[in-house]
Amino acid sequence: MAGDIDHDASHGLAAPGGHYSHAVRAGGLVFVSGQLPIAPDGTRFSGQNFETQARQALANVAAALASAASAIDELVQVCVYVTDINDWPVFDRIYSEWIGAVRPARAVVPVPALHYGSRIEIEAVASVVRGN
């Protein structure tokens, strides 16, 4: 394993549901695994409305970044998978409230389905906070 790759036991996140880390560091960047709407206690929000699911997935991105010495305002690339492109306006509003002034590169990509019947999954890349 590379010395500069961190495999974090993330805090504020349910344990990974498969063979992956929530976040990994390399080359001054943090790579965040696809985050689903799953609460820290493992509760899946698949049956909830889109807004609730989006807020939980974003909260998980923030927790994964925090666990890897990064933060929301260090995000540089965000890839958002949604099962219904009509959820785009709601997502864009929630996301802008969540992230504030920062505007990372982003793609919102419709897919036919997501794991556990979720309506949203969010993958991200961020910078490592200086000093870490």
Q: Report the residue number, 45 or 91, with the smaller CB distance to a copy of itself.
A: 91
**Minimum CB distance to a copy of itself, residue 12 (Å):** 17
| Nearest distance from C-beta of residue 55 to a copy of itself, angstroms | 15
CB of 20 vs a copy of itself, minimal distance in Å: 4
Q: What is the CA radius of gyration of the chain?
A: 14
Nearer to a copy of itself, 36 or 45 (CB): 36
| Angle (deg, nearest 10), helices 88-99 and 50-67 | 40
We find the least distance from the C-beta atom of residue 77 to a copy of itself, in angstroms, to be: 4
Please check whether residue 105 is in contact with residue 131, taking contact to mean a CB–CB distance below 8 angstroms: no
Q: Do 127 and 101 contact (CB within 8 A), yes or no? A: no
Binding site for a copy of itself (CB under 8 A): 1-5, 7, 16, 18-29, 31-34, 73-74, 76-79, 81, 85, 88, 92, 95-96, 99, 101-115, 121, 123, 125-127, 129-130
Q: Which two tokens stand for residue 120?
A: 């949203």
Nearer to a copy of itself by Cβ, of 27 and 42: the residue is 27
- Interior/surface letters 79-110, b for 16+ CB within 10 angstroms, e for the rest: bbbbbeeebeeebeebbeeebeeeeeeeebee
